Amino acid sequence: MSPSAANPATPATDSEKPASALHLAVALDGTGWHPASWREPVARPRALFTARYWADLVTEAEHGLLDFVTLEDGLGPQSSHFLDPDDRTDQVRGRLDAVLVASRVAPLTRHIGLVPTVVATHTEPFHISKAIATLDYVSTGRAGLRVQITARPNEAAHFGRRTVERIDSYDPPVPPSVSDLFDEAADHVEVVRRLWDSWEDDAEIRDVATGRFIDRDKLHYIDFEGRHFSVKGPSITPRPPQGQPLVTALAHATVPYRLVARAADVGYVTPHDAGQARAIVAEIRAEQDAAGRSAEPLHVFGDLVVFLDDDPGAARARRERLDALAGEPYTSDALVFTGTSAELADLLQELQSAGLSGFRLRPAVAGHDLPAITRGLVPELQRRGAFRRAYEADTLRGLLGLARPANRYAAA
C-alpha cells in the first residue's frame, strides 16, 4: 500500500475531499498489456490461472483507493491479429472467465468496484443479468460489466448458432454488419437492465408467520420484444443491491460512441491529446442528447497504456527492452504513456480539463506498473488535491456519484 494513501475504511471529511477530483480505474489483462510482459521477473506467469494472482492485483488496486478494476475477457484465444486467431507461442494465450474471477475476488475486497467484460454477441442477456446481479450481491454493491461485441468468425464458430460477416476493421465507414452488432449490444443492455428491475426492492417478504416469502405482485414480466431478443422475464435473481450495477463500454468512433450514449454509465475512449478528448466528449454528449438521456449522468473516461518509473529514462528503457523481446514496437488503440508519475499526473489533469471525468489505465506490466500507479501516481494526485484520500461510498455507483435508480416497474 502506498505510504501516503489513507486507510480505505476511513471516511474522508469534507475538508479532505479534492475540489477537482478525478476518477481512476485500471484495466487488468493477463500479465499486462505489453505482449512480452509475461517475461518480466515480476510477472508471475505460473500463477496466472490462480485465484491468488487476481486477488493480489485487485487488492493492490484497492490499496490505491481506485474506483474499480475491469477484467478483460473474450470468446477465443488472444491474438496478435485484429480479427483472426494466430499461431504464436511467445505470448500469453488463454483466460479465466472474468465474471467468475470477479466473484471469487469480491469477498476478499471491501470497497473497489469489480467490472468484468461480457461479450454480448454470443451471450444471452438473461444469463448476464443474473451473473452480474449475483456479483453485486457477492460484492455487496460493487459490481458492473463492460459490454463488448465480437466480429470474429472463429468465435461465432464456437457456438454454431449464427455466422458473422467477414470484415477487415471497425474503422469508419463502419460496415452495416458491425453497426448491427452494436445495435444488438444496446438491446442486450436494455434487456439486462429491465431484468434487474423485474423484482421490486421489497418483493421479498420472508415472513415466517404468514408463510409468504415473496410478494408475487412485485415480480414483473419485462416482455421485451426487439429485432435481436424476445425476453419475457422476470429474472430469477432479486433486484441487485445497487438497483442497477454499472454498465460500461469501450468506444473508438461514432457507432460505438452511440452505444455508450444509449446504454452506458461509463464510456472508455482513446484520445491522444486534449483536442481529441474535447471533440470526443462533445460527440458523445450530442449522441446522449439524441438518445433522450441528456439528463442522466454519464462518465467519459480516457484510456491510456502506462509504462511508469521514477525516472523517464528507466521507463523508456523498459519499454524498449520489452519491444525487443516481442520482436516489434508496441502499439495500441490508446495513447501509450512512458514516463514518471508526475508527468502522468500532468497529462491526466490536462485531459481532465478537456471534459474527461476519469481514466482507465492499462498497466503495461501488471506486476510493475500497477504498483507504480497505486504507490506513485495516486500519492502524486493526492498532493495536488486531485484524488481521494479515502473511500467515500460503499457502492460502486456511490464512488462515481451515481444515485441508485428507481425501479421502472414499481408503482409510483
Are the C-beta atoms of 62 and 112 separated by less than 8 Å?
yes
In angstroms, the CA 81 to CA 30 distance is 17
Contact 50, 91 (CB under 8 A): no
Helical segments of 45-93, H only: 51-63
Contact present, 122 and 75 (Cβ < 8 Å): yes
According to DSSP, residue 222 is labeled -
Q: Tell me whether residue 134 is annotated as binding.
A: no
Residue 73 annotated as part of some ligand binding site: yes
Region of residue 23 (phi > 0: left; psi between -120 and 50: alpha; otherwise: beta) = beta
User: Among all chains, which residue has been given the C-alpha cell 454480448?
Assistant: 120
Q: Which residues of 335-370 are buried (b: 16+ CB within 10 A; e: fewer)?
A: bbbbbbbbebbebbeebbebbbbbbbbbbbbbbbbb
∠ CA 87-71-58, nearest 5°, is 125
Contact yes or no for 203/237 (Cβ under 8 A): no
Q: Is the peptide bond before 329 cis (omega within 30 degrees of 0)?
A: no
Annotated binding residues for FMN, as ranges? 73, 117
The binding site consists of 73, 117
